[in-house]
C-alpha cells in the first residue's frame, strides 16, 4: 500500500467534488447549458483576477497562455523588458526570441526578488520599451516579485504594458489586476485553482486590448481578436475542454465559498509554517528576498544526491516533492502550498522530509520541524 501525496507546485491535489463534477456526462459546447457554465465560471474568475474585464478561458497550458500574451499584444521588433530571474523568466525570453522581439533583460540572481529601482533604471536607459514581462511568483526560485509596486512604477508610462505570469500567484495572493494596473494577467488550472492541467486563463486591460488591435505577430489558435469576441458570448472559437470547464466552475465555487481572503491566508500560513520548519531543521532557503507563498525551496546538503532522494520519497514513501530546475537540479528541494492544500498537508511534508533526510544519513532531530510547523499552524487550526 502506498498512499500518494502530491506536494509539487503543479500539478496539485484536486478535490473530490471537482473530480466528480468532471466525471459527469459531456455537455455539448454549442449549447446554452454550456454557455451558462462558462458564464458562471467567468464571473468567478473575474473576482480572483480582480478585474471587470473578461477573463479568457484557453484550452491549453500556462505556456500557451504566456505565448498568447506576447503574440496578441506585441509586434515584430518591439522592444520588451524581461525580468530574468528563474526558469519561467527564461521562458518569456525564449518566446520573445522566437517572435524576434528586441529583448532587454533585467538579470536577477536566482533567489532574488525584483526591486522597482532596477526597473526604473532600465526604463531610463530604454525609452522605447513596449512591454515589461515578469512573473509575480517565480516557481523555480520560490521568489515573489512585488508586482503591485512594479505596476505603480509603470502607471506613469502611457505606452508600456505590464504582462504578468501569475501562474503560481493568482489564487495564492490577493491580486487586483484593475486596481494595480496589470495589463495582461495569466494563470493555469493546475496550481491554486485546484484543477488538473489543461486550462489557462488570461485577461487583458483596455490598454492591452488597444495593443492587440495593431499586433502583427502570427497566430491562429491563440488569436484573441477572434476568441475574445466569441468568449463574450460565453462560447469558444474552438472546441474547449468541456469537462475541465465544468470542474473549473465547481473549483472556483469552492474557493469563493471558503472566502478568497481565507484562501490567501491559508496559503500564507502553510508557507510560513513550512519555511520556519525547514529553517529549524537547519536548511537554507533558496529565496534570499521575498519568498513566494506558492512554494518553498531550500538547498539540500551538499553531499546529497537530490534526484535519488526524490525517487526514494516517491517510490517508498508516496511523497512527491519537487527538485530544482535548470542548474539547481539535484541541489534543491521544493515543497508546494498551492491549491487544495491544508495544514495537515504541511505536516505530512515536514514529517516526510524529517524521516527521509534521516534515512539518507542527514543529522536531523525527528519532530523538530513538525513542532515548529505545529506552533505556527495551531493558532489558526480552524482556517487550515
When asked if residue 316 is in the footprint of a second copy (CB under 8 A), the reply is: yes
Cα 370 from Cα 350, distance rounded (Å): 6
Stretch that binds a second copy, among 61-69, 101-109, 123-131, 363-371 (CB under 8 A): 363-371
The count of residues interacting with a second copy (CB under 8 A) is: 39
Q: Given the complex with a second copy, which of 4 and 307 has the nearer CB atom?
A: 4
- Residue 57: asked if its preceding bond is cis (omega within 30°), the reply is no
Q: Given the complex with a second copy, which of 92 and 321 has the nearer CB atom?
A: 321
184 forms beta bridges with: 163, 204
CA atoms within 13 Å, Cβ hemisphere of 319? 25
Q: Which of 79, 210, 314, 368 binds a second copy (CB under 8 A)?
A: 368
Instruction: Say how many Å lie between the first and final Cα of the chain, rounded.
Output: 27
DSSP state of 184: E
When asked if residue 366 is in the footprint of a second copy (CB under 8 A), the reply is: yes
When asked if residue 117 is in the footprint of a second copy (CB under 8 A), the reply is: no
Q: Which of 51, 139, 231, 351 binds a second copy (CB under 8 A)?
A: 351
User: What grid cell was written down for 86?
Assistant: 528563474
Stretch that binds a second copy, among 46-54, 113-121, 235-243, 358-366 (CB under 8 A): 358-366
Q: Which of 203, 271, 340, 362 binds a second copy (CB under 8 A)?
A: 340
Contact 354, 367 (CB under 8 A): yes
- Secondary structure (3-state) at 48: helix
When asked if residue 196 is in the footprint of a second copy (CB under 8 A), the reply is: no
When asked if residue 256 is in the footprint of a second copy (CB under 8 A), the reply is: no
Cα 173 from Cα 191, distance rounded (Å): 12
User: Of 304, 219, 299, 293, whose CA–CA distance to 263 is shortest?
Assistant: 293
Q: Given the complex with a second copy, which of 196 and 342 has the nearer CB atom?
A: 342
Stretch that binds a second copy, among 36-44, 100-108, 180-188, 362-370 (CB under 8 A): 362-370
Amino acid at each position: 500500500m502506498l498512499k500518494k501525496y502530491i506536494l509539487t507546485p503543479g500539478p496539485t491535489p484536486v478535490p473530490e467534488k471537482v473530480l466528480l463534477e468532471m466525471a459527469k456526462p459531456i455537455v455539448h459546447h454549442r449549447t446554452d447549458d454550456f454557455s451558462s457554465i462558462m458564464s458562471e465560471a467567468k464571473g468567478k474568475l473575474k473576482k480572483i483576477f480582480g478585474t471587470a474585464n473578461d477573463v479568457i478561458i484557453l484550452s491549453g497550458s500556462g505556456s500557451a497562455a504566456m505565448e498568447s500574451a506576447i503574440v496578441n499584444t506585441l509586434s515584430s521588433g518591439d522592444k520588451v523588458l524581461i525580468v530574468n530571474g528563474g526558469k519561467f523568466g527564461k521562458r518569456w525570453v525564449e518566446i520573445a526570441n522566437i517572435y524576434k522581439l528586441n529583448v532587454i533583460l533585467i538579470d536577477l540572481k536566482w533567489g532574488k526578488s525584483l526591486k522597482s529601482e532596477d526597473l526604473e533604471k532600465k526604463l531610463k536607459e530604454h525609452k522605447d520599451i513596449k512591454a515589461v514581462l515578469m512573473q509575480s511568483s517565480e516557481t523555480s526560485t520560490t521568489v515573489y516579485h512585488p508586482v503591485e509596486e512594479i505596476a505603480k512604477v509603470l502607471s506613469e508610462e502611457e505606452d508600456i504594458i505590464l504582462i504578468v505570469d501569475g501562474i503560481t500567484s493568482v489564487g495564492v495572493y490577493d491580486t487586483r489586476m484593475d486596481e494595480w494596473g496589470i495589463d495582461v494577467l495569466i494563470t493555469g488550472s493546475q496550481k491554486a485553482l485546484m484543477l488538473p492541467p489543461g486550462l489557462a486563463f488570461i485577461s487583458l486591460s483596455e490598454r492591452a486590448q488597444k495593443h492587440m488591435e495593431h499586433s502583427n505577430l502570427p497566430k491562429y489558435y491563440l488569436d484573441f481578436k477572434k476568441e475574445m469576441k466569441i468568449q463574450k458570448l460565453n462560447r469558444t472559437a474552438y472546441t474547449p475542454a468541456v469537462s475541465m470547464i465544468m470542474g473549473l466552475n465547481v473549483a472556483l465555487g469552492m474557493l469563493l465559498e471558503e472566502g478568497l481572503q481565507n484562501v490567501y491566508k491559508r496559503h500564507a500560513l502553510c508557507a510560513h509554517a513550512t519555511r520556519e520548519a525547514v529553517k529549524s531543521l537547519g536548511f537554507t532557503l533558496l529565496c534570499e528576498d521575498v519568498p513566494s507563498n506558492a512554494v518553498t525551496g531550500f538547498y539540500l546538503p551538499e553531499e546529497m544526491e537530490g534526484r535519488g532522494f526524490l525517487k526514494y520519497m516517491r517510490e517508498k514513501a508516496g511523497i512527491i516533492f519537487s527538485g530544482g530546475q535548470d542548474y539547481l537540479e539535484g541541489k534543491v528541494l521544493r515543497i508546494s502550498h498551492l491549491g487544495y492544500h491544508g495544514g495537515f498537508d504541511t505536516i505530512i511534508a515536514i514529517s516526510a522530509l524529517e524521516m527521509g533526510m534521516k534515512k539518507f544519513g542527514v543529522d536531523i532531530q525527528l519532530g523538530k520541524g513538525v513542532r515548529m510547523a505545529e506552533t505556527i499552524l495551531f493558532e489558526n487550526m480552524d482556517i487550515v
